[in-house]
Amino acid sequence: MADVTASGLLADIADVGRDRTRGGYSRHVFDTAELDLREWFAGEARRRGLDLEQDRNGNLWAWWGGPGPDAVVTGSHLDSVPGGGAFDGPLGVVSALSAVDIMRERGVTPAKPLAVVVFGEEEGGRFGVPCLGSRLSTGSLPAEKALRLRDPDGVTFADAARRSGLDPERIGADPELVGRIGRFVELHVEQGRGLVDLGGPVAVGSTVIAHGRWRLTFAGQGNHAGATPMDDRRDPMLPAAETVAAVRRIAASAPATRATVGRLAPNPGGTNVIASTVDVWLDARGPDVPSVVRDVEAAARAAAEAEGCTVELREESWSDEVVFDPALRDELSAELGDVPALPTGAGHDAAVLSAHVPAAMLYVRNPTGVSHAPEEFAEASDVDAGAEALATVLARLSR
């Protein structure tokens, strides 16, 4: 049996996927770093005598006891956003492995099957749709749509999956697999300051904000930066820039809304070139998102027309607000001694699964309150407290 703590396991993988250019980590589904971590995970599963399987959508499952039914499942993801932190994703995976060790040290043998899962492409950092692995398995994203998704190099998900040994024909809803899950618990680094303010190491999740992603494509006339007079331009960068400012303005006046443009791509992207098109990605979250997006679209259209450009808006993903299973949440809180319940503005595989099985989350304190950036952090003592807490709830749920 492996004899390492969750913080020790995290230290073992601290160098995988470091992004020397952006800082932090960049690990995207089926890239070298993510595949290295999958291999590392397989080794850790083997070391613990767990049975490893890759499902038809590329998610990894390490089973303690034969697969399902009524299994207790825990885990998270190993991919990151571009230039992300060390904890978002991997913390839930190392804590799950460590929880298996802790349960064994405590002499706990689960009466129900228990699995540690690694979901693919949780961040949507490569193909644009977050929680791709869990959405595919649960059928909330149709396979035909997923297979056509393209990464920034133009590689389709179908091709990337094929190159990683998956059969594109079999990608899609997997009711037999999802039907094995009795309850799901994901441990995650907190992505805000809730636990810092409350002064505790661990919380349970209460709700996940409604959220979605859109792409706006502005089109104008590509041209020469020096030879084109200022009054004879149709430059799509203008409406793109005005839309970025409009997003901030519109979101600021809508209640409980968070809207972000974190990615913008002029094509072809040359210093001395007026762009012919510009893609702008919008991430919008909160109860009023439909009206916020309508207002953003109207502002984008007005700005595009004023510059003689066009704009097209496409939805890339949508997730309704999630309230985690209250009974399961109460069970976790009771077992852990009345830990606080926290809402989150971040999306998670647990939220996708919650439409199908009772799901819950545990958060571990992040002293910086920063996430999706290199400053994301958790103290080793809190990481290990999180794994202990996870072991405690898994022991109870698998009785």
Q: Applying CB under 6 A, what is the total number of residues that bind ligand GLV?
A: 4
Q: Of 130 and 220, which has the nearer Cβ to ligand GLV? A: 130
- Under the binding rule (CB under 6 A), the answer on residue 130 touching ligand GLV is yes
**Separation between Cα atoms, residue 50 and residue 64, nearest integer Å:** 5
Residues forming a β-bridge with 280: 216, 264
Q: Which of 347, 358, 360, 388 binds ligand GLV (CB under 6 A)?
A: 347
Question: How many of the other CB atoms lie within 10 Å of CB of 331?
Answer: 18
> Min. distance of Cβ 343 from ligand GLV in angstroms?
13
Q: Of 89 and 220, which has the nearer Cβ to Mn ion? A: 89
Q: Which of 123, 151, 376, 382 binds ligand GLV (CB under 6 A)?
A: 123
**Sign of CA pseudo-dihedral 133, 364, 111, 109:** positive
Q: 367: closest CA among 179, 124, 242, 189? A: 189
Q: Of 183 and 188, which has the nearer Cβ to ligand GLV? A: 188
Query: Quick one: what does residue 89 bind among Mn ion, ligand GLV, none, with the CB cut-off 5 to 8 Å set by partner type?
Result: Mn ion
- Under the binding rule (CB under 5 A), the answer on residue 205 touching Mn ion is no
Q: Of 185 and 274, which has the nearer Cβ to ligand GLV? A: 185
- Under the binding rule (CB under 6 A), the answer on residue 79 touching ligand GLV is no
Q: Is 211 annotated as a binding residue?
A: no
Q: Are 102 and 213 in contact (CB under 8 A)?
A: no
* Binding characters for Mn ion, 72-91, by CB under 5 A (x = yes): ----------------xx--
Task: Name every residue whose Cβ is closer than 8 Å to that of residue 282 and which is 6 or more positions away in sequence.
Answer: 213, 214, 215, 216, 247, 259, 260, 261, 293, 296
The label of the residue with tokens 């979605």 reads 212
- Under the binding rule (CB under 6 A), the answer on residue 174 touching ligand GLV is no
Q: Of 242 and 376, which has the nearer Cβ to Mn ion? A: 376
Sequence-ordered alpha helix ranges (H) in the chain: 6-12, 32-47, 90-105, 132-138, 143-148, 157-163, 175-178, 194-198, 237-252, 289-306, 326-336, 349-353, 380-397
- Under the binding rule (CB under 6 A), the answer on residue 117 touching ligand GLV is no
Q: Is 223 annotated as a binding residue?
A: no
Judge residue 345's burial from the number of C-beta atoms within 10 Å of its C-beta, 0-12 exposed, 13-18 middle, 19 or more buried.
middle
Q: Of 72 and 118, which has the nearer Cβ to Mn ion? A: 118
> Min. distance of Cβ 239 from ligand GLV in angstroms?
26
* Binding characters for ligand GLV, 231-270, by CB under 6 A (x = yes): ----------------------------------------
Task: Name every residue whose Cβ is closer than 8 Å to that of residue 111 and which is 6 or more positions away in sequence.
Answer: 398, 399
**Separation between Cα atoms, residue 355 and residue 350, nearest integer Å:** 9
Question: How many of the other CB atoms lie within 10 Å of CB of 131?
Answer: 27
Span of 7-15, 136-144, 179-187, 342-350 interacting with Mn ion by CB under 5 A: 342-350
Question: How many of the other CB atoms lie within 10 Å of CB of 95?
Answer: 33
Q: Of 132 and 390, which has the nearer Cβ to ligand GLV? A: 132
Please give the annotated binding residues for allantoate, written as ranges. 213, 272, 285
**Residues in touch with Mn ion (CB under 5 A):** 88-89, 346-348
- Residues lying near ligand GLV in the complex (CB under 6 A): 123, 130, 346-347
